[in-house]
Amino acid sequence: MIDLYTWTTPNGRKASIMLEETGLPYTAHPIDINKDDQFAPSFLKIAPNNRIPAIVDRDNGMSLMESGAILIYLADKTGKFMPKAGEGRYKVIEWLMWQMGGPGPMLGQVHHFVKYNPGKAPYAEERYLKEAHRLYKVLNTQLDAREFVAGEYSIADMAIWPWISRFEWQTVDLNQYPNVKRWYQTIAARPAVQRGYSVPKDTGPIPMPA
């Protein structure tokens, strides 16, 4: 049994989608980051960076924060969605790290400046939108000859997809990136992804491109 501490954000959904995909039993505990639940001393004991997601594995008592670490842990625990060794494993880690260092922080800045504070910082809006389009182009190119980013459907796809699901916030037209659009729709159709998207509460249907 896994305890998942999460909220309805891209980083949180990575973990709930993986838990749904693996079929591991888990309990979701909402950490409402709009109400500062992430600063509660009980949460800081398992997530000292005061950010979601975090898990506690009741099988061994281990706690983990950082979505990338959580995905690797759950893949290793179940033997699913990441090769156990060899080049395939490192390709999955490569694209997982690309997400952690690229789309996560950069698209997060797009949400901050373009969606929530438009017109306040034109330089930042231009800078982060330019970077967002660069990252979408990289992803589109990677998906040119592949169905998924690193071979088989993996934790790398599960890490990237929730960030792309905010394409409307990012003012990105997925029709500009046809491989990303096809990949996005394929993953959105997975029942486990649909269930994981609604954890810890339903926020409406998955956004779909026109």
Note the residues at the interface with ligand GSH (CB under 6 A): 9-11, 33, 38, 50-53, 66-68, 104
CA distances from 25 to 22, 70, 118 (A): 9, 15, 41
Smallest separation, CB 182 to ligand GSH (Å)? 26
Q: Indicate the residue among 77 and 182 with the shorter CB distance to ligand GSH.
A: 77
User: Could you please report the per-residue DSSP string of 72-88?
Assistant: HHHHHHHT-SS-SSHHH
Smallest separation, CB 159 to ligand GSH (Å)? 8
CA 154 to chain centre: 12
- Rounded Cα distance, 147 and 137, in Å: 16
Smallest separation, CB 95 to ligand GSH (Å)? 14
Across the beta sheet with 54-57, what order do the strands follow?
26-30, 2-6, 54-57, 62-65
Q: Indicate the residue among 52 and 193 with the shorter CB distance to ligand GSH.
A: 52
Smallest separation, CB 111 to ligand GSH (Å)? 9
Q: Indicate the residue among 68 and 196 with the shorter CB distance to ligand GSH.
A: 68
